[in-house]
Structure 1
Amino acid sequence: MDISVISAVLLGALALFLVGGVWIAFALLGLGLLAMELFTQAKAGPLMATTIWGGSASWSLTALPLFIWMGEILVRSRISEDMFRGLAPWLTRLPGRLMHTNVIGCGIFAAISGSSAATCATIGRMTVPELGKRGYHEPMVIGSLAGAGTLGLLIPPSIIMIVYGVAADVSIARLFIAGVLPGVMLMTLFSGYIALWALLNKDKTPPSDIHMSFREKLHESRLLIPTVVLIVGIIGSIYSGLATPTEAAVVGVVGSLLLSLFLGTLSRSVFWETVMGAVRTSCMIAFIMIGAAFLTTAMGFTGIPKLLAQWITQQGFSAGMLIAVLTLLFIILGCFLDGISMVVLTAAVILPSVQAVGIDLLWFGIFVVLAVEMSQITPPVGFNLFVLQSMTGKDLFTIGRYALPFFILMAVAVALIYFVPGLVTALPQMMLGTR
């Protein structure tokens, strides 16, 4: 059967599942089952059983619930408040002043949480009321938080990188290292835009209300020490080769528990809240990945990935044109799917096409993360928009409008890593070699 007919049937079925409110995991399983029954001669039942077991028995996935648990612990500790107090005195002379706490705070917390939603929620609980009380421009406060909150996906450790690494069979350690320079670049773009906006809108930035001597600033900075120690423990153990990402996740959990105990925020009830929160989120993600594993196998049996790769080769798409098309595809999918679902749903179809035009899968992983970041702030299904809606009471499309400049900056970041691929590949090659 023609590839266009198969694709149309499967896309139509997926649209029906999603519009009908079917859980993402069930939608993926159902779509795979439909593809097997309609377009292949293979027996779906036994294949589903073996695929589900194989997809859920990966050792690399062990890091996922651990990083999620670490984020749950840190959300319930006093680390966010201490982070704000430690950063604020150093930002008063910059154009935009304390609005940069959204970017820097999210960047720091991203390095210890791995989750976009956790980063946005944790920093937002602190900065939105504080900046509101000081009279900062609300659209810029909310927009910068929406954009900067996505750094939880790009700056390692990143949950979405683990998911992509498993799906594409790419080293998770190399992905973590590859995300560092693009993450710093994106933070620079965000802060640069805030500074430029503040210079052009001086009347919308309140005067500084923090007056400290250099000694007093250093004294406040002591509050950043626990955060820095935790970041060094996690990222340093990976970069130095002392620990795998999974082992580093254990370091993160133990470190966050000790930090919470040291800050006096760890109790029996809080401990069980973090455990149950991590279990719920981990099971949701694992369930989605199980459905995706079966769909990936089913897509292989239909021959769509191979045919699509052949079609792209025949069309003569350049790597740049393919990236432009895929960027548009991810933006559209981001209006309806969460980031993890986007990765696992498209991996089976897209990766063969990407390899067909000679794109490095490590580089492509960072591109995917940036594209998924963009989807986090596109209505109607943007996780960061949901977080900010519950926090501010604004509707999704208003928050999406506030976040639009930062969405455009992410598109600029995609262009930058395309034209300067060394931003992604240089650090992994330097630290781990070419293999």
Structure 2
Amino acid sequence: MNDLLITALLVATLFLILGSGVWIGLSLSGVAWVGMQLFSSRPAGDAMAVTIWGSSSSWTLTALPLFIWMGEILFRTRLSQDMFKGLAPWLQALPGRLLHTNVAGCTIFAAVSGSSAATCATIGKMTLPELAKRGYPDNMVVGTLAGAGTLGLLIPPSIIMIVYGVTADVSIAKLFIAGILPGLMLACLFSGYIIYWALRHPEQVPVNDRHYTFMEKIRESGSLIPVVLLIASVLGSIYAGIATATEAAAVGVVGAMVLSGVQGSLNWSSFKEALMGATRLYCMIALILAGASFLTLSMGYIGLPRHLAEWIATLGLSQFELILALTVFYVILGCFLDGISMVVLTMGVIMPTVQKAGIDPLWFGIFIVLVVEMAQITPPVGFNLFVLQGMTGKDLLWIAKATLPMFFLMVVAVLLIYFFPAIVTWMPQQMKL
């Protein structure tokens, strides 16, 4: 049976199982089992047991539940209210004024949370009522929040970066450092768009209702000190080479507990809620990773990744054409799958092709994060869209339309890191990890 027919059969099987409502992790394992049983001489049961155990017992993967737990703890603190209080005085002078709190707040919270949805929800608790009360347009408030919320994936620590690092065998610490400049660049693009919009539509920007002296701004900024110290302790320990990503995650959990305790929001109830929330989310991710590892092994025995890489090589695509094709592919895939599933489902097939094209796996990891960010704001399976729909009650397509300018800015970001790859690679090159 030729490779095209085998691929079509496995894809059809996957969609059949997913369509029946089976969990994604179990669906991936089911397709892998079918593939090994029908097209390989290796016993499927033995391969499944060995692969699932190997994928779930990785020490590197320990950073993932720890960073998720840190984000869950901070989600239950007064961090969002304190951040608005500290940021608002400094942003009043910019065109667009307090709309920039969406971008600045998400940028800061992204540095202590590896989740896009958590970033969007936490900052949304702060900005949605405050900006609505002051009369800012709903489409700009919701659109910029949905777009800026995706920074939770790009600015380290990032859940997607850990998943990619494990599946593609790339240093997670280097991925974290590589994401800093692209993350700040994307935040600047979002703020630049707000400034452009404000200059085009000055009548829609509410009048500045309060003026701060310099000393008042300094005093209000005191509420930002705890989160800045937490960011410095997590990322600083990695950047200085003192800690691995896993050890830095443990530092982050301890720091989040201290911050929560100082604010008075840490009690037995909130501790238990944060722990159970992190456990549920990690179990879902771990099941997907285990299923994807088994599927990758199954495809390896069948030979699909190698044949696909060879077929793409025969097309004679340039690096730019390949990146363009992959961008379109992942955006379409993001309409149906969440980011983690996209990464683990495709890496086994895509990585041989990428390596054969001479693309740096570290650079490719940041590219993957950017296109997964696009998927967070594309219907019908855009996590940030779901979060904002629950918070605002707005129609999903209305939210997606409001977010469309942010989507195009992410396309611009992909082009910028392609033509100027040093945006991604410069900082990791300065480190000895």
- Cα distance, 1:18 vs. partner? 2.4
Q: Measure, in 2, the Cα distance between the counterparts of 1:331 and 1:43.
A: 36
1:35-434 → structure 2 map (5 Å cutoff): 35-432=35-432
Q: Measure, in 2, the Cα distance between the counterparts of 1:419 and 1:432.
A: 25
Structure 1 counterpart SS, 2:92 = coil
Q: Measure, in 1, the Cα distance between the counterparts of 2:407 and 2:19.
A: 26
Structure 2 counterpart SS, 1:162 = helix
- Cα distance, 1:181 vs. partner? 0.6
Paired amino acid for 1:139: N
Structure 2 counterpart SS, 1:380 = coil
- Cα distance, 1:4 vs. partner? 1.4
Paired amino acid for 1:198: A
Paired amino acid for 1:387: V
1:8-23 → structure 2 map (5 Å cutoff): 8-23=8-23
- Cα distance, 1:422 vs. partner? 0.6
Q: Measure, in 2, the Cα distance between the counterparts of 1:219 and 1:110.
A: 24
Paired amino acid for 1:75: F
Q: Measure, in 2, the Cα distance between the counterparts of 1:142 and 1:6.
A: 44
Q: Measure, in 2, the Cα distance between the counterparts of 1:286 and 1:9.
A: 26
Q: Measure, in 2, the Cα distance between the counterparts of 1:276 and 1:363.
A: 34
- Cα deviation code 1:5-45 (max 9, x no counterpart): 11211222222222222211111111111111222222100
Q: Measure, in 1, the Cα distance between the counterparts of 2:75 and 2:232.
A: 19
Paired amino acid for 1:336: F
1:28 aligns with 2:28: yes
- Cα deviation code 1:136-156 (max 9, x no counterpart): 010010000000000000000
Structure 2 counterpart SS, 1:379 = coil
Q: Measure, in 1, the Cα distance between the counterparts of 2:205 and 2:252.
A: 37
The answer to whether the 8 A contact 1:161-1:172 is kept is yes
- Cα distance, 1:239 vs. partner? 0.1
The answer to whether the 8 A contact 1:29-1:292 is kept is yes
- Cα distance, 1:312 vs. partner? 1.3
- Cα distance, 1:237 vs. partner? 0.3
- Cα deviation code 1:56-104 (max 9, x no counterpart): 1110110001000000000000111101100000111101100000001
Paired amino acid for 1:428: P
**Structure 1 vs Structure 2: percent identity of aligned residues?**
64
- Cα deviation code 1:300-341 (max 9, x no counterpart): 011010001111111111111111111011001100100000
Structure 2 counterpart SS, 1:218 = helix
The answer to whether the 8 A contact 1:174-1:432 is kept is no
Q: Measure, in 2, the Cα distance between the counterparts of 1:418 and 1:212.
A: 42
Structure 2 counterpart SS, 1:432 = coil
Paired amino acid for 1:6: I
TM-score, scaled to structure 2: 0.99
- Cα distance, 1:171 vs. partner? 0.3
Q: Measure, in 1, the Cα distance between the counterparts of 2:167 and 2:308.
A: 18
Structure 1 counterpart SS, 2:271 = helix
Structure 1 counterpart SS, 2:367 = helix
The answer to whether the 8 A contact 1:56-1:290 is kept is yes
Q: Measure, in 1, the Cα distance between the counterparts of 2:161 and 2:96.
A: 32
Paired amino acid for 2:280: R
Q: Measure, in 1, the Cα distance between the counterparts of 2:320 and 2:20.
A: 36
The answer to whether the 8 A contact 1:170-1:362 is kept is yes
Paired amino acid for 2:146: A
Structure 2 counterpart SS, 1:207 = coil
Paired amino acid for 2:393: G
Structure 2 counterpart SS, 1:353 = helix
- Cα distance, 1:383 vs. partner? 0.7
Paired amino acid for 1:153: L
Q: Measure, in 1, the Cα distance between the counterparts of 2:41 and 2:397.
A: 46
Q: Measure, in 2, the Cα distance between the counterparts of 1:16 and 1:405.
A: 35
Structure 2 counterpart SS, 1:285 = helix
Paired amino acid for 1:422: A
Q: Measure, in 2, the Cα distance between the counterparts of 1:380 and 1:219.
A: 44
Q: Measure, in 2, the Cα distance between the counterparts of 1:214 and 1:93.
A: 12
Q: Measure, in 2, the Cα distance between the counterparts of 1:104 and 1:331.
A: 26
For structure 2, the 5+ residue unaligned runs are none
The answer to whether the 8 A contact 1:334-1:375 is kept is yes
Q: Measure, in 1, the Cα distance between the counterparts of 2:10 and 2:129.
A: 46
